[in-house]
Amino acid sequence: MQSPATRRDFLKRTLFGASAFSIYRMGLAKLRPTATEPGSLINLTATEAVTLLRSGDLSCEKYAAALLEQCRKRRALNALIWQDEEMVLEAARAADKKRAAKKVGPLHGLPILVKDNFDTASAPTTGGTPALRNHRPRADAPVLASLFSAGAILLGKANMHEMAFGVTSNNAAFGAVHNPYNPAMIPGGSSGGTAAALAARMCAAGLGTDTGGSVRTPSALCGIVGLRPTTGRYPPKGIIPLSHTRDTPGPMARSVADLALLDSVITGESAPLQPTPLRGLRLGVPRGFFYENMDASLAPVIENALTTLRGAGCVLVEAEIPDIGKLFAASLPIAYYEMNHDLSRYLQESGEKMNIRDLIAQIASPDVKAAFETYVIGPKAPTREEYETAMRGSRPALHAAYRDYFRAQEVAAIVYPTTLLPARPIGEDDEVELNGKKVSTFGIFTHNVRPNTTAAIPGLSLPVGLTAAGLPVGLEIDAPQGADRNLLSMGMAMEEVFGKLPPPPG
């Protein structure tokens, strides 16, 4: 096995500007012994896999076959809604032929998993809901098209919380997704299938969507990394929408270098990244909103992570973001109002012969159906006036609160627990217990990750340890609008000091 220093050196040289010859000489020579051991292929990160696939030291077909075998072994997790094994192998064989012809892209032959709310021309796009079970889009979502053009292969469509409107991925239509670290527990949502599959080594990288924390919450609960980019950084078209003001696709993987790789392909920002020096890095710690009422089993893991950052030279600035809770609460009408209009537009433009009420009538998950019937088309649906008031008032005020905080405190990022509690048992869709009290499942799992969605700033969830019960804990790092690549550089450095989680059992 490689030492942590050897592995870090390989990743840096692979992703951050080394010549092809140097990659071969210094990276592949180190990887080759472990890459041929039984089971080792599934443990490759996306960056490691792409290096081997592009060089020809690993065939795309062999790698795809190893991942497909792992998908079969971990089928009980119910992480996938759709997969066509022969289609995957055919695409891998075609990639091998391109490699022989020296036609390789930056993601050559890399299988990726995609949440089943992304339009895919080669597979159904269900949104995890019965009404769209046979929905077949005409084209791939633009964000996917960029990955496929770079050589990526569609490994499958991942299970999710129905209509991406929830935090547990307990889907009554397609079945619950199980957490690889404890199959009795939720993986988080709504991108729970992608997170569970990546943690279980069924794939190295994938995509989710994040409207109210749906990339970062499952990333935290499953022990992987997930990025919510600055809103608008990635093209949102071709994805079943909830709220155009808050929706964004986001990459998920097992290393920050892999997130940076996918981000560079999607955005075209391919300038080399280096881990940010942590000594002297100022980080905001707003305890008043983001740390209060942490679960007793999670709190020591988070505090240890802060101690680790301090020991690495970071300057932790304990200061609050004024009125963040009130400002975010006042912004809630934005998403609920836009759900009605954005989803109606998607159905019409995609050629589906149904309206939003037809779709809602077929929703299988009780929590999702109740939410749509109450807050989207029902008695508590926001009025146009309430929506416009939030768009003109609380939303820009929240933007300003974050902007002023970064400037006044002179911090590069904000750090806080991604969720206030670790995974809870499957089936607790309405309420969970937190420190002896019953609280809203949706409300508590999204408490920390929702404010930045309205503020449109990027957020990165990193695994920082396990609870005494062996459940993953995530730490979130938020940066100012547009500072996505800086955020990834910080994440790379923090990942080195936190180390990697042990893989899940099984």
Q: What is the DSSP string of 68-120?
A: HHHHHHTGGG--EEE--HHHHHHHHHHHHHHHHTT---TTTT-EEEEETTB--
The half-sphere exposure of 69 on its side-chain side, counting CA atoms within 13 A, is: 11
Closest CA to 18 of 272, 248, 238, 264: 272
- Point out the catalytic residue in the list 12, 115, 157, 369: 115
The pLDDT confidence band at residue 58, using thresholds 50, 70 and 90, is very high
pLDDT tens profile 174-184: 999 999 999 99
**What percentage of residues in the chain have a pLDDT greater than 90?**
91
- Largest alpha-carbon pair distance within the chain? 65
Q: Which residue has the tokens 């020096």?
A: 277
pLDDT (mean) for 387-414: 97
Reply yes or no on whether the pLDDT at 138 is more than 90.
yes
Closest CA to 418 of 460, 364, 355: 460
Reply yes or no on whether the pLDDT at 156 is more than 60.
yes
Contact between 92 and 63 under an 8 Å Cβ cutoff? The reply is yes
Would residue 98 show up in a list of annotated catalytic residues for this protein?
A: no
pLDDT (mean) for 230-252: 98
pLDDT given at position 272: 86
- Which residues, at least 6 apart from 120, have a Cβ–Cβ distance to it below 8 Å? 114, 137, 140, 141, 144, 154, 157
Give the C-alpha separation, 66 to 31, whole Å.
Answer: 17
The pTM score is 0.93
pLDDT tens profile 307-344: 999 999 999 999 999 999 999 888 889 999 999 999 99
- Point out the catalytic residue in the list 146, 214, 219, 243: 214
The half-sphere exposure of 483 on its side-chain side, counting CA atoms within 13 A, is: 20
Q: Range with the lowest mean pLDDT among 7-16, 193-202, 244-253?
A: 7-16
Contact between 422 and 196 under an 8 Å Cβ cutoff? The reply is no
pLDDT tens profile 107-132: 999 999 999 999 999 999 999 999 99
Backbone angles phi, psi at 138, to 5 degrees: -80, -25
Contact between 415 and 319 under an 8 Å Cβ cutoff? The reply is no
Would residue 219 show up in a list of annotated catalytic residues for this protein?
A: no
Query: Domain spans of the chain?
Result: 38-330+383-498
pLDDT given at position 37: 53
Contact between 206 and 252 under an 8 Å Cβ cutoff? The reply is yes
Token pair listed for 379 = 């008695």
The pLDDT confidence band at residue 27, using thresholds 50, 70 and 90, is very low
- Point out the catalytic residue in the list 12, 146, 157, 190: 190
Three-point CA angle 276, 277, 278, nearest 5° = 105
Would residue 214 show up in a list of annotated catalytic residues for this protein?
A: yes
pLDDT (mean) for 438-461: 97
Q: Which amino acid is at 252?
A: M
CATH of domain 38-330+383-498: 3.90.1300.10
